[in-house]
Amino acid sequence: MARFIIRSIISTIITMLLVSIALFFLIEVGSGDISVKILGVFATPEQRASYRAQLGLDAPAWQRYVDWLIGNDWRAERKVGYPLVTATNPQTGEQGWWADVDGQLTRWKMEEGQLLTLKRQDDGSSTAHLSSGGWEVNEEGQEVFWGVDTKNNAVQWMRGEGAEVWVLTKAGLRKEGDGPQVYIPLRKGLLRGDPGISLQFGRPVAVTLVPRIRNTLVLAGVAFTIIMPLALFLGILAGINEGKPLDRIISITSLGFTATPEFVTGIFLIIIFGIWLKVLPAVAIFTSPNAIFEDPTLLALPVLTLTAVELGYVARMTRASMVEVMDSPYIRTAIIKGMPKWRVVTKHAIRNALMAPITIIMLHVNWLIGGLVVVEVIFGYPGLGYYIYRSAIFGDYNAIEAAAMVTVAIAILTRLIGDLAYTLLNPRIRYA
């Protein structure tokens, strides 16, 4: 038993690692030049190269994978020479990177050939001073300086070189002199809860992702609590009446609903309830972040769509398992010895019949996530699925990778829980 659990956990970790490698390199190899999306098609090659360097895309792929997974502040620390720490910016509420120079949080800035030291005050603002020294001479005899700039990068400036960089501002690209030669965009890495900056929103992925995960969990949770009892009930009902008209009706209807794509079901529900009857909102427009709690009718159609699609599958599984159990000798014995049928069903059959569906439901979670993506797109529901969709269309690699890893983690963890639950419930495996 203990061996089995340890084995499953190790296998899960290996799977997650494989998934992360596959995901990262698939997007890495496949996706085109992101600078085309952001800078537009008319940007010059120099502008593109400069922008890509600022995103850290000039580093080799394996290096970026490691950065993405476990962060790169430890790598940058060795270059800068001071511990790198994050501090909250009180205006945006987001984390910024600073170098901890003897207890004073510091950044640097190059202006007209002069290196300025920015010292962080307690209110989050900073004061500029002319910095003294710190320049080192490298092998080629150039004077270089490693520091943290104002855009959360660890950078290397070079005295006298005055590299020109293209900085993206709201008004477009601006050319700046005295730019750094090398950039390391600082990040803590996925495992430490920082999957990087979202390129389409310009904010950290973690900040934009969390409310969406919450919205999705609410949607999925409500749907799940409706689907499960109903599906199990219908499945058991069909299983007891195997071959009778009631079973036929339930089986064929659930097959029909399962086979109908989510978007077809969703569209039909919109047409019926949103357009013809005008009783439910056809799109989920969020006027405030807590809109689902203020106006639960927003959830009605998305939940109904998910229910229609998922209900059939679970019901069919339950039915199959129930039919099998009802065929078994011990049920026949119970019936022959004169036990009322409802007692046979409730006392003997259901417990054994539910074992298979419960594990299958756990395996089915990643199917549910697939359904969520489509349902959220249909109704414009601001959840995880819609986020993945938007990021994939934009090519926002940090966001897709983070969001996809969240879905994979959910799928794998539920599967692990399913496996463990099954082992606990089934004595034949438990004592094997």
Runs of H (alpha helix) within 31-123: 34-39, 45-54, 61-70, 73-80
Q: Least separation, in Å, of the C-beta of 193 and another protein?
A: 21
Q: Least separation, in Å, of the C-beta of 300 and another protein?
A: 18
Instruction: Please say whether the beta carbons of 401 and 24 come within 8 A.
Output: yes
Q: Closest CB to another protein among 128 and 283?
A: 283
Q: Least separation, in Å, of the C-beta of 385 and another protein?
A: 8
Which of 186, 187, 210 has the alpha carbon at shortest distance from 406?
A: 210
Q: Closest CB to another protein among 20 and 153?
A: 20
Q: Closest CB to another protein among 164 and 324?
A: 324
> Residue 174: CA atoms inside 13 Å, Cβ hemisphere, count?
9
As a residue count, the chain comes to 432
Residue 93 φ/ψ region, left for φ over 0, alpha for ψ in the -120 to 50 degree band, beta for the rest: left
Secondary structure (3-state) at 123? coil
Q: Where are the beta strands (DSSP E) in 59-123?
A: 84-88, 95-101, 104-111, 114-120
Contacts of 255 by beta carbon, 8 Å cutoff, 6+ apart: 312, 316
Q: Least separation, in Å, of the C-beta of 400 and another protein?
A: 6
Q: Closest CB to another protein among 77 and 262?
A: 262
Instruction: Please say whether the beta carbons of 357 and 232 come within 8 A.
Output: yes
CA angle 322, 227, 349 (to 5 degrees): 20
Q: Closest CB to another protein among 23 and 335?
A: 23
Q: Closest CB to another protein among 41 and 130?
A: 41
Q: Closest CB to another protein among 37 and 151?
A: 37
For 129, list phi and psi in degrees, rounded to 5: -135, 150
Q: Closest CB to another protein among 183 and 379?
A: 379
Dist. CA 35–CA 47, nearest whole Å:
9
Q: Least separation, in Å, of the C-beta of 228 and another protein?
A: 19
Dist. CA 207–CA 31, nearest whole Å:
24
Q: Least separation, in Å, of the C-beta of 216 and another protein?
A: 12
Q: Least separation, in Å, of the C-beta of 3 and another protein?
A: 16
Q: Closest CB to another protein among 16 and 116?
A: 16
Dist. CA 77–CA 186, nearest whole Å:
10
Q: How far is CA 365 from CA 251, 372, 374, in A?
A: 22, 10, 15
Q: Closest CB to another protein among 149 and 262?
A: 262
Which of 90, 82, 76, 88 has the alpha carbon at shortest distance from 106?
A: 82
Do the strands 126-130 and 136-137 form a parallel or antiparallel pair, or are they unpaired?
unpaired
Question: Encoding tokens for residue 414?
Answer: 């539920």
Dist. CA 347–CA 341, nearest whole Å:
10
Q: How far is CA 35 from CA 169, 170, 185, 397, in A?
A: 14, 15, 16, 12
Q: Least separation, in Å, of the C-beta of 412 and another protein?
A: 5
Q: Residue numbers of the site for another protein (CB under 8 A)?
A: 11, 14-16, 18-19, 22-23, 26-27, 29-32, 252, 255-256, 258-264, 267-268, 270-271, 275, 366-367, 369-370, 373-374, 377, 385, 388-389, 391-393, 395, 400, 404, 407-408, 411-412, 415
Amino acid found at 259:
A
Q: Least separation, in Å, of the C-beta of 373 and another protein?
A: 5
Q: Least separation, in Å, of the C-beta of 167 and another protein?
A: 27
Q: Least separation, in Å, of the C-beta of 382 and another protein?
A: 16
Q: Closest CB to another protein among 218 and 409?
A: 409
